[in-house]
Structure 1
Amino acid sequence: MSNRDWSKFTVRINIRARRSDLYDAWTTKAGMEYWFLRSCEFVDAKGYILDEEETIRAGCTYTFFWHGYTDEVFEKGEILEANGQDRIVFRFGKAGICTVRILMAGDEQIVEIEQAEIPTDEHSQFQYHVGCKTGWTFYLTNLKSLFEGGIDLRNRDINLQDMLNS
Structure 2
Amino acid sequence: MSIRSQALAPVRPAMPALFWSVMGGTAAAMLDLAVAAAYWGARGVAPDRIFQSIAAWLLGPVAFTGGAPTVALGAVLYAGLLSGVMDAYRRLARRFPVLLHRPLTGGALYGASMYGLIFLIFVPLLSAATPVAHAWQWHAICVAAYVLLVGIPAALLARIQAH
For the aligned pair, the TM-score class normalised by the smaller chain equals 0.3 to 0.5
When normalised by structure 2's length, the TM-score is 0.32
Larger Rg computed on CA atoms: 2
TM-score by length of 1: 0.32
More helix as a share of residues: 2
With a CA cutoff of 8 Å and minimum separation of 6, indicate the structure with the bigger relative contact order: 2
